[in-house]
Amino acid sequence: MQSPQMLTLTLVVSFALVYFMVPYLRKVALKTGFVDMPNPRKLHKEPIPVLGGAAIYFGFIVSTLLIQLIFFGKLDDTFYGIALGGLLLFVIGVLDDYYKTRGKDFPAWPKLLTHIAAAFVLVGFDVRVEAVTIPWLDLPYYSFTDHGMGWVSILATVLWVVALTNMLNFLDGVDGLAAGISSISAITLLFIAILSGNGPVAFYAVAVIGVSLAFLKHNFHPARIFMGDAGATFLGFALAALAVDGAFKSATFVSLIVPVLALGVPIFDTLFVLFKRIKERRPLHQADKSHTHHTLMRSGMSQVQTVSFMYLLGICFSLLSIVVLLVNYN
C-alpha cells in the first residue's frame, strides 16, 4: 500500500505542475491563435485559450513518473497503459482542438478509432476487466480468461473505456464542470481504493485529483483557459482506467455498480442526451444544447449555479457508491 507521505507528495507535485504550467500555456495559446472562438452553441463571448489539455496530460504523467521513480525506482504497467494510451488521445485531441480554433470540424471516425486504440493499449498492459463474481454460480468467481472467454474481457474493457472517455468530453460544456466532476469522481475512486487496499489505484487517483483541482483554479467561471478535447478525453480515459484497475479488475457482482455511480454524472448525462436525441429522431453524434447543464441554464440558472448543482449531484452519486461498497463489504 502506498504510504500517506507518497500520496501527499503526489497530490502536491501534480497540483503544482498544472497550476504553474497553465499561465504559460495560456500565453502561448494567445500568441499562436490557439483559441476557442465563440459561436451560437457556446457560452463564452470572447476567444479563450484551449491548450489546457497539455497541462493536464503532462502534469499527470510527469508527477506519477517522478514519484514512482523516487519511491520504487521503476514504473508499473498501469503507468505505461495510461501514459501511452493517453498520449494517443492527447495527440488526436490537440488536432481536434486545432481544427476548432480554425472554425473547422475534425472528422469523427479518426477520433473514434484512436479512442479504441487507446483502450487496447490499456488491455495490452493488463488493465482490463478480468473476472466477476456471480451469486447464482457455485464458483467463487467467473474468470473470463480461465473459461476461454478472454474476448469478453477485452470487449468489456474497450467498451467501458471508450464510452467514459467520450462521456466526460461531452460534459465539458460549462466553465469548471469537467474538472470539478473529475475531481469528485477521482476522490471517490481514491476512497474505494483505500477501502480495498489497492495502493496503485489510490496513487493514480490522487494524481488525477491534483491535476483536476489545479486546472479548476484557472477554469472556474469566468474561465481563463479551456482543457479542450485533449484534456477532457484524457481525464475520462484515466478515470475509466482506474475504475477498471480497481473496482472492475476482479469485481463482485454487486460492486459493479460502484464505479458506475462514482462516475455517475457523465454517464447519466450521456444517457439522458442519447434518449432525448432518439426520442426527437436527431443524429446521436451531432453536438447540441441538450445536455443537463444546458437544460439547467435554460431554466434560469447562471453558470456558477449550474456547475454547483452538478457538483452536488456528483457528490450524491459518489456517496451512494460508497454506501453500496460498504454494504457489500459487510
Provide the residue type at 56 as one letter.
I
- Convert the pLDDT of each residue in 87-136 to its tens digit: 999 999 999 999 989 888 899 899 999 999 999 999 999 998 876 655 54
Q: How many other CB atoms sit within 10 Å of the CB of residue 159? A: 13
Element (H, E) at 58: helix 52-71
Give the whole-angstrom CA distance, residue 316 versus residue 305: 17
Kindly report the backbone phi and psi dihedral angles of residue 246, in degrees, each rounded to the nearest multiple of 5, phi listed first. Answer: -110, -90
Q: Which residue has the higher pLDDT, 182 or 263?
A: 182
Return d(Cα 84, Cα 81) in angstroms, integer: 6
Average pLDDT for the chain: 86
pLDDT tens profile 136-162: 454 555 566 655 567 888 998 999 999
For residue 142, the cross-strand partners are: 132
Beta partners for 35? 49
Distance CA 38, CA 189 (A): 35
Coarse DSSP helix, strand, coil percentages of the chain, rounded to the nearest 5 percent = 70, 5, 25
The pLDDT of residue 233: 97
Output the pLDDT for position 133.
Answer: 58
Q: What percent of the chain has pLDDT over 70?
A: 85
Place of cell 461531452: 170
Q: Which pLDDT band holds residue 53 (cuts at 50, 70, 90)?
A: very high
One-letter identity of residue 247: A
Decide if pLDDT at 250 tops 50: no
Give the span between the Cα atoms of 314 and 309, in whole angstroms.
Answer: 9
Return the biggest CA–CA distance within the chain. 64
Residues written for the chain: 330
Q: Cα(28)–Cα(55) distance, rounded to whole angstroms?
A: 12
Q: How many CB atoms lie within 10 A of CB 316?
A: 14
Q: Spell out the SS3 assignment of 194-233.
A: HHHCCHHHHHHHHHHHHHHHHHHHHHCCCCCCCCHHHHHH
Burial of 254 (0-12, 13-18, 19+ CB in 10 A): middle
The one-letter amino acid at 78: T
Q: Which amino acid would we find at residue 127?
A: V
Share of the chain above pLDDT 90, in %: 57
* C-alpha dihedral sign at 201, 202, 205, 210: negative
**Cα–Cα distance list, 107 to 50, 97, 110, 199, 225 (Å):** 19, 12, 6, 39, 24
